Amino acid sequence: MKSKISFFNPGVQKQNLKQHGWIALVYLVGLLFTVPLQMVLHITNENTMPYRHVEHLFSIGFPMQLFVAFIVPIITGMFLFRYVQTKQAVDMIHSLPISRGSLYINHLLSGLVMLVIPVWVTGGAAAAVSAYPELEAITMSDVWIWTAVMTVMSVFFFCFSVFIGMLSGMSIAQGILTFIILMLPAGLFMLLNTNINFFLYGFPNHYYSGETIVKWSPIIMMGEFNHVEEIPLGHIFVYLGLAVIFALLGYVLYKFRALEMAGQAIVYEPLRPIFKYGVAFCAMLVGGIYFEQYHSTGWLIFGYVFSSLLGFLIAEMILQKTWRIWKGRTFIQYAGYAAVVIIFGLVLHFDVIGYASNVPNEDDVKGVYFGDDVHSLTRAEEEEDVFVTNQAYIENVRAFHEYVAQTKPEEVQTNQPHRFNQYAIAYKLNNGSTLVRQYQLPLESVKDQLAPIVESESYKRINYHVDVLDNKLQNIVITADGPVQKNVTITDPEEIQELQHILKYEISRLQVDDVVENNMNWGSVILELPLQADALPDEAVQLSIPWKKNFNQLEQWLEDNGYLDQARILPEDIAFMEVQRLAGGTNGMAYPDRVFREDLGSETSVQVEDKEIIEKALETSRTMGDGEYFVRFVTENDIEFYGVFTKEDVPEEIISLYNSPS
């Protein structure tokens, strides 16, 4: 029979509409429920305020939008091309006088129509609803952008699903592989990032996560739409181009696809080893992360071997469609994979490239950042420049880095919340690149090298907002830590200026012991900057400074001006306190409430009501930490909070409670 070639076949289109038209209906209903209906419900709800800060339509009913936007197009690709995945259907369809190219193009067109029309109808409905006065913040530009973005992403997910369908011979494998590969770049990036951190000393794995992985997956990128002010239209155009590329690749693959491969997980023979070793590699990385939590090299190696072997065997079973794979060839292939991984692991372990010892020369450094995390670095381009150019500060940070790189103190396994043990270093180099390192070290091993950095003016200006204290402030709010709600707002301009001078003085006196101690605070001092001309009250910029317990001038000023009782907890607020001694200390246990809740005390607890002793206990106790003496404060309102006394700070009055004769 002579084949009739046509790019548009009405018969195929009618059959697709009859058999799969329900997909368009489901997509339309899903989109209408997530956008226009949510807008209508907002209008009819008398208890809600008008939309005032809708940056775009993705802010409305977003989680459901994301789910519908990538699930339905992927399913569309699975259903429309299911005929190539089953042997009976593929033989029957390809016996018709229609070329492969015509079949592919007509099914592709059917899918595009089923997805694009619901998006456009929903966009029109959203435009109509946005005409209500209550939705004045939603503009036609917002509607057009939403419609364009949803159209492009729907087309991309559909074309990508079709492309994967041409590589696979099973519909279920097509769906699973589509989702996995869409997430694979970001997922593999995170897995590699985390596992490399086990081997490379100083590797800043958190620096390469977060915002970095957004670019690596369209699903994650869309997941961020709810948190951004502007949709990255440049990325959207990239996905439009990728949709065209995957559609063309799918066409080529379909033309050369062997029909008898229907029912196979992977259709093309050269891709089978990639699938098999890829599954083994990803399984190995996941297993490494799981078993690393035991902080044992032996368990980590076991996790790598067990997980990679399990993944390898499962992939082999999927490809062979049988569990009878126990042949010598299978294990020889795995041994080859293991050899490559071992070589790569040894390269990392012995740091062949000199990663850990790399400290830039002072002449190559333009600016330096030093802090307890790398998150400020990921926001540096959007907000303020966190790099310091002071030469003395740069040299102090380099000296710290050189000491760590040469001595390599053993990193602590967990970040104890009462310890200052995370250190992030970043250099902005003259060649435009950035060198970043991150360490988690015992404070005692680097305290001497840390002191010149944290006691410097440059460090304090960034971390304690000293520059802000030189500017005009709207208010200063002082709040108390702990369960007792206390705060005082200073609004008088003269008092604000006095406080600014006092705070600058207190910050200038901070020594390394004060900076690294995070749990000796009365509360926080919140600096509220003046509002911008077009800003709303809830958009006020607030910066926080810890109110250290040794800020004596600040406390004296509050007392002299009658604010102290409103700003922090006082002995008069405490009904009594209970002291418990744990012989030998806590051995790293951070939370003092456990001593009382789990009755860990080695001696009978002592109850104290003396206000002078209570004040001494309030002044010297920490909210977390190691120690031998623990305290439970009970307020007049029966609210409890806990503390611990370190060995150096235990008041004599507390020790005497146990040394005095009973």
Residue 180 pLDDT > 50, yes or no?
Answer: yes
Intra-chain end-to-end CA distance of the chain, in Å:
110
Model pLDDT for residues 112-158, shown as the tens digit of each residue: 999 999 999 999 998 888 777 667 777 788 888 889 989 999 999 99
pLDDT of residue 662: 47
- Starting at the edge strand found earlier in the chain, the sheet holding 422-429 runs 365-371, 422-429, 434-440
Neighbour-count burial of 162, counting CB atoms closer than 10 A to its CB (0-12 exposed, 13-18 middle, 19+ buried): buried
The Cα 58–Cα 145 span in angstroms is 10
Tell me the one-letter amino acid at 600: L
**What average pLDDT does range 170-174 have in this prediction?**
83
Please answer whether residues 438 and 203 qualify as being in contact, where contact means their C-beta atoms are separated by less than 8 angstroms. yes
Read off the tokens for 552. 């004596």
Give the gyration radius of the chain's Cα atoms. Answer: 32
In three state form, how does the secondary structure of 120-136 look? HHHHHHHHHHCCCHHHC
pLDDT of residue 436: 92
Residue 292 pLDDT > 70, yes or no?
Answer: yes
Model pLDDT for residues 270-286, shown as the tens digit of each residue: 888 888 888 888 888 88
Q: Measuring CA to CA, which residue among 509, 497, 491, 510 is closest to residue 469?
A: 497
The per-residue DSSP string of 227-273 comes to G-SS--HHHHHHHHHHHHHHHHHHHHHHHH--GGGTT-S--STTHHH
Q: What are phi and psi of 281, to 5 degrees?
A: -65, -45
Tell me the one-letter amino acid at 256: F
The Cα 26–Cα 28 span in angstroms is 5
Please answer whether residues 352 and 197 qualify as being in contact, where contact means their C-beta atoms are separated by less than 8 angstroms. no
Q: How sure is the predictor about 539, in pLDDT bands with cuts at 50, 70 and 90? A: low
Neighbour-count burial of 543, counting CB atoms closer than 10 A to its CB (0-12 exposed, 13-18 middle, 19+ buried): middle
Model pLDDT for residues 473-484, shown as the tens digit of each residue: 989 999 998 888
Beta strands 606-608 and 574-581, pairing class: antiparallel
Express as a percent the part of the chain with pLDDT over 70: 88
Beta strands 434-440 and 422-429, pairing class: antiparallel
The Cα 251–Cα 29 span in angstroms is 31
The Cα 595–Cα 614 span in angstroms is 19
**More confidently predicted of 196 and 380:** 196
Single pTM value for the model: 0.77
Give the SS3 label for residue 490.
Answer: strand
The Cα 539–Cα 522 span in angstroms is 27
Express as a percent the part of the chain with pLDDT over 90: 34
